[in-house]
């Protein structure tokens, strides 16, 4: 049940056409024998991040439970988020599953198959501590940082039209931009911004934007056996209390529903 964290940017041993090259003990097709290969994008703490040379986090532990049910280990590949959300990494056989704090959207569902939702999220606004910015309405003429290819960027494009949007490739760059004053505020998922603010008193989350988002795990379109196995594991950890324990481990509280 311990994730094997292989931090890499290269594809893992599947067929060149993206077809699974092996199966799990339960007969589910996988890219590599004895391994479920996970594509993610680091850092996205507390969902996935590097600590002490190992990739850890809530998503990592959730997929580790799926791996255990399949009788395999987990290998993790850090790859750009764009290749995850477009389904490219799944289609080319780089990985079996995408776990990247990824919101289920209609556009993404055209590119990959999602599991049942496993996490509820919304957008949030983070600023430097003591800032007079308290909402999107206060950002007229100011610089708002967004992470590229995310639902936060889309929300800002639609709802912060008076702000200058500044795009960052990953979460860490976005968060640092707030601390250093490169931007006046940043928008991203509430879980990651609250986690960062709790550890960095020089920033604070001033608003939550109720977007009603839900995260899903992604698999290649048509991977019915794997998707069924993923959903079965998600149902199992909900029922036996594992999900609540993992949630409390990474978020310091139990889920509200």
Q: Are residues 68 and 150 in the same domain?
A: no
Helix or strand or coil: residue 108? Answer: helix
Query: Residue 256's pLDDT is what?
Result: 77
Residues 56, 119, 98, 189, Cα dihedral to 10°: -80
Q: Are residues 208 and 218 in the same domain?
A: no
Peptide bond into 161 cis (omega under 30): no
What predicted TM-score, i.e. pTM, was given to this entire model?
Answer: 0.88
Q: Are residues 110 and 130 in the same domain?
A: no
240 phi, psi to nearest 5 deg: -95, 5
Mean pLDDT value across residues 24-48: 93
Residue 183 placed within a domain:
yes
Q: Which of 150, 124, 137 is nearest to 205 (CA)?
A: 124
The CA distance from 55 to 23, in Å, is: 24
Query: Residue 9's pLDDT is what?
Result: 32
2 pLDDT more than 50? no
Mean pLDDT value across residues 116-141: 97
Q: Are residues 99 and 139 in the same domain?
A: no
133 phi, psi to nearest 5 deg: -85, 125
Residue 17 placed within a domain:
no
27 pLDDT more than 80? yes
- Write the pLDDT tens digit of every residue in 143-191: 999 999 999 999 999 999 999 999 999 999 999 999 999 999 999 999 9
Range of the domain at 196: 122-212
11 pLDDT more than 80? no
Mean pLDDT value across residues 84-92: 97
Of the CA atoms within 13 Å of residue 220, those in its CB half-sphere come to 21
Write the CATH number for 217.
3.40.190.10
Q: Are residues 223 and 102 in the same domain?
A: yes
Residue 217 placed within a domain:
yes
Residue 18 placed within a domain:
no
Residue 102 placed within a domain:
yes
Query: Residue 257's pLDDT is what?
Result: 56
Q: Are residues 57 and 138 in the same domain?
A: no
């Amino acid at each position: 049940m311990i994730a094997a964290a292989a931090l890499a940017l290269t594809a893992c041993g599947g067929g060149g056409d993206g077809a699974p090259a092996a199966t799990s003990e339960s007969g589910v097709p996988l890219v590599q024998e004895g391994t479920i290969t996970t594509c993610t994008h680091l850092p996205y703490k507390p969902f996935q991040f590097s600590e002490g040379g190992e990739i850890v986090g809530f998503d990592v532990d959730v997929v580790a439970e799926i791996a255990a049910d399949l009788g395999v280990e987990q290998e993790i590949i850090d790859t750009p988020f764009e290749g995850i959300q477009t389904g490219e990494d799944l289609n080319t056989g780089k990985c079996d599953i995408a776990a990247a704090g990824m919101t289920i959207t209609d556009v993404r569902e055209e590119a990959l198959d999602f599991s049942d939702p496993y996490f509820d999220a919304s957008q949030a606004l983070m600023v430097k501590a003591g800032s007079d910015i308290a909402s999107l309405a206060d950002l007229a003429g100011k610089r708002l940082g967004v992470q590229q290819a995310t639902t936060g960027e889309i929300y800002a494009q639609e709802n912060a039209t008076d702000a200058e949007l500044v795009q960052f490739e990953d979460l860490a760059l976005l968060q640092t931009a707030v601390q250093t004053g490169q931007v006046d505020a940043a928008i991203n998922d509430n879980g990651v911004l609250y986690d960062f603010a709790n550890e960095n008193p020089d920033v604070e989350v001033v608003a939550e934007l109720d977007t009603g988002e839900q995260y899903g795990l992604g698999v290649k379109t048509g991977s019915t056996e794997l998707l069924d196995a993923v959903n079965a594991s998600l149902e199992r950890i909900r029922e036996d209390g594992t999900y609540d324990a993992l949630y409390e481990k990474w978020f310091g509280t139990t889920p509200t529903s």
